[in-house]
């Protein structure tokens, strides 16, 4: 089954011409055809466009192009539907964009094309990446392939499902407060959120500009390294991307953790953490020790303020970022007697309840008289949270935590209680506030039902190589990432 190959396995076969890109792409399309009706990982995919790209890749392979030149040549990749792909629909999981097609490619899209990837389709997401379950998608939720009555996490739930359900070997997502790592944990795949500024945001529809970062979903750490390498780097079109060289992440992977110090954040193991998840993380920590790492306790004292800080800063930025969806230049429009009525009608119909809630929250915290008490204070706390991490990283190379407080929850279970939903991100949110990289990898399963548990590593700014090295070493010593959902 070609769709079950990892990126590394597939490129090895493509290079030897054992399989063609067209066959691999067709296998993925078949899997989508077979399961996406039930799982709803994709919002749109263009079969003929994907096959045309695959054929072009086969021609390049036939002409002698090698994967040293184009590392993803012939590899099918899916993209979260908040990232622009020229000529394809861009919905952000929202009705407000109507039948909008992007007139341009995001920088990551351009980079994937340059690396030879076959862009297959666009994955489901909570509306404008606001949510932790994909239940906020205007086009219906995605289902967790391990138990379809449960959510796959969010907001990049579609990407996680596509990878976990063997529809695609790799996918891009975006992570503003955990939107890659949490669904990766819920679906049992590898989810990497790079350092803020590592990957260009040009073409990523902004939710919270100072927190958003594009990252990867894969079935192995090695694949994460390959995919990150393809999309990372400075971009003149993104002033917040950092002009720093991109290391060969895959080349740096080895099984040894000797000499590495890993911090166990004590604030992350307190109340609210599910017992099975806690046990899996503790077992993983012992494994890390056996692999040669020294595990020490570290403190991140401002952790308890992270969720509140996040919902001030993220919603403030979102309230401005989403102002452009007004029905004037593109997207859906509901007319009105004057512009104000047109805006109200368009946005009233076009946005879902969670998006409206966050726009209103963000508008409030920026309002005259409240700015200092909320936004300004939020920024100050954010600095303290970053300092917590930088201080911890003076003594440790990485920090290990659970990715989520529990395994995947039932659809509908938390959708009536926004606060419970927001607390889903309690272990992932600080990473975005601090601007540091984080990765979630499988570290076990709950007993009944059998659902994946995620282990999170957090690293120094631009310390992706170390994170991948630690995750890879753990992965090599454990069987979890090889497990697949029974139904697919």
> Which segment (28-36, 50-58, 364-372, 382-390) binds another protein by CB under 8 A?
364-372
Q: Which residue in the set 27, 92, 224, 488 belongs to the binding site for another protein (CB under 8 A)? A: 92
φ and ψ at residue 285, rounded to 5 degrees: -65, -40
What is residue 296's three-state secondary structure? strand
Residue 269 within binding range of another protein, rule CB under 8 A: no
Provide the b/e sequence for 75-105 (b: ≥16 CB within 10 Å).
bbbbbbbbbbbeebbbbbbbbbbbebebeeb
Query: What is the pattern of x (binds another protein, CB under 8 A) and - over residues 299-338?
Result: -----------------xx-xx--xxxx-xxx--------
Active site includes 209? no
Residue 407 within binding range of another protein, rule CB under 8 A: no
Smallest distance from another protein to CB 18, Å: 38
> 89 or 442, CB closer to another protein?
89
> 274 or 326, CB closer to another protein?
326
Active site includes 415? no
Smallest distance from another protein to CB 228, Å: 20
What is residue 4's three-state secondary structure? helix
Task: Please pick, among 20, 137, 142, 155, the residue that the annotation labels catalytic.
Answer: 155
Q: Which residue in the set 29, 84, 359, 396 belongs to the binding site for another protein (CB under 8 A)? A: 84
Task: Please pick, among 6, 8, 20, 80, the residue that the annotation labels catalytic.
Answer: 80
Tokens of 379: 């920024």
How many residues line the site for another protein (CB under 8 A)?
45
All residues at 6 or more sequence positions from 375 whose CB lies less than 8 Å from its CB, including other chains: 312, 313, 316, 365, 366
| Tokens 């909008």 -> residue | 100
H/E stretch holding 444: strand 438-445
Tokens of 290: 């056996």
Give the whole-angstrom CA distance, residue 264 versus residue 282.
10
Residue 368 within binding range of another protein, rule CB under 8 A: yes
Query: What is the pattern of x (binds another protein, CB under 8 A) and - over residues 98-117?
Result: --x-xxx-x-----------
> 371 or 417, CB closer to another protein?
371
> Which segment (13-21, 134-142, 203-211, 390-398) binds another protein by CB under 8 A?
203-211
Q: What is the dihedral of CA 255, 259, 265, 268, to 10 degrees?
A: 10
Helix 21-39 / helix 47-62 crossing angle, nearest 10 deg:
160
> Which segment (10-18, 96-104, 153-161, 453-461) binds another protein by CB under 8 A?
96-104
| Tokens 């007004």 -> residue | 326
All residues at 6 or more sequence positions from 16 whose CB lies less than 8 Å from its CB, including other chains: none
What is residue 5's three-state secondary structure? coil
Active site includes 200? no
Alpha-carbon distances of 410 from 153, 272, 455, rounded to whole Å: 10, 17, 21
Name the residues annotated as catalytic: 80, 155, 179
Binding site for another protein (CB under 8 A): 82-84, 90, 92, 97, 100, 102-104, 106, 201-206, 208-210, 236-240, 316-317, 319-320, 323-326, 328-330, 339-340, 343, 363, 366-368, 371, 375
């Amino acid at each position: 089954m070609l769709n079950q190959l990892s990126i590394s396995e597939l490129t090895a076969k493509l290079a030897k011409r054992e399989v063609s890109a067209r066959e691999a792409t067709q296998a993925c399309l078949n899997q989508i055809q077979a399961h996406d009706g039930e799982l709803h990982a994709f919002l749109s995919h263009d079969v003929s466009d994907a096959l045309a790209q695959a054929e072009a890749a086969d021609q390049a392979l036939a002409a002698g192009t090698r994967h040293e030149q184009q590392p993803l040549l012939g590899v099918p990749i899916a993209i979260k539907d908040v990232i622009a792909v020229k000529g394809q629909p861009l919905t952000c999981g929202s009705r407000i964009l109507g039948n909008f097609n992007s007139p341009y490619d995001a920088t990551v899209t351009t980079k994937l094309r340059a690396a030879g990837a076959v862009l297959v389709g666009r994955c489901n997401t909570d509306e404008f990446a606001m949510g932790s379950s994909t239940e906020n998608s205007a086009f219906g939720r995605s289902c967790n392939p391990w138990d379809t009555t449960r959510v796959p996490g969010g907001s990049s739930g579609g990407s996680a499902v596509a990878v976990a359900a063997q529809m695609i070997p790799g996918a891009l997502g975006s992570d503003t407060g955990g939107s890659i790592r949490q669904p990766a944990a819920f679906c049992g795949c590898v989810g990497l959120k790079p350092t803020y500024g590592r990957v260009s945001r040009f073409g990523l529809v902004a939710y919270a500009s100072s927190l958003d970062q594009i990252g990867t979903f894969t079935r192995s750490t090695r694949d994460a390294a390959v995919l990150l390498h393809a999309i990372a780097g400075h971009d003149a079109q993104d002033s917040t991307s950092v002009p720093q060289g991109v290391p060969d992440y895959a080349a740096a992977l080895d099984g040894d953790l000797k000499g590495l110090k890993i911090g166990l954040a004590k604030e992350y193991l307190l109340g609210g953490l599910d017992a099975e998840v806690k046990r899996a993380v503790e077992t993983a920590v012992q494994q890390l020790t056996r692999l040669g790492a020294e595990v020490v306790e570290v403190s991140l004292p401002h952790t308890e303020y992270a969720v509140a800080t996040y919902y001030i800063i993220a919603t403030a930025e979102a309230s401005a970022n989403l102002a452009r969806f007004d029905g004037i230049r593109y997207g859906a429009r509901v007319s009105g007697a004057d512009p104000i009525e047109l805006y109200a009608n368009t946005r009233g119909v076009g946005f879902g309840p969670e998006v409206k809630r966050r726009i209103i929250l963000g508008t409030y915290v920026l309002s005259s008289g409240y700015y200092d008490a909320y936004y300004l204070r939020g920024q100050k706390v954010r600095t303290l949270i970053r300092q917590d991490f930088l201080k911890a990283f003076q003594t440790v190379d990485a920090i290990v935590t659970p990715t989520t407080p529990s395994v995947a929850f039932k659809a509908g279970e938390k959708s009536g209680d926004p606060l419970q939903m927001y607390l889903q991100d309690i272990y992932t949110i600080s990473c975005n506030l601090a601007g540091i990289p984080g990765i979630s990898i499988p570290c076990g399963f709950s007993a009944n039902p059998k659902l994946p548990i995620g282990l999170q590593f957090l690293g120094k700014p631009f310390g992706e190589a170390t994170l991948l090295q630690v995750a890879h070493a753990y992965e090599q010593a454990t069987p979890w990432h090889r497990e697949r959902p029974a139904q697919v």
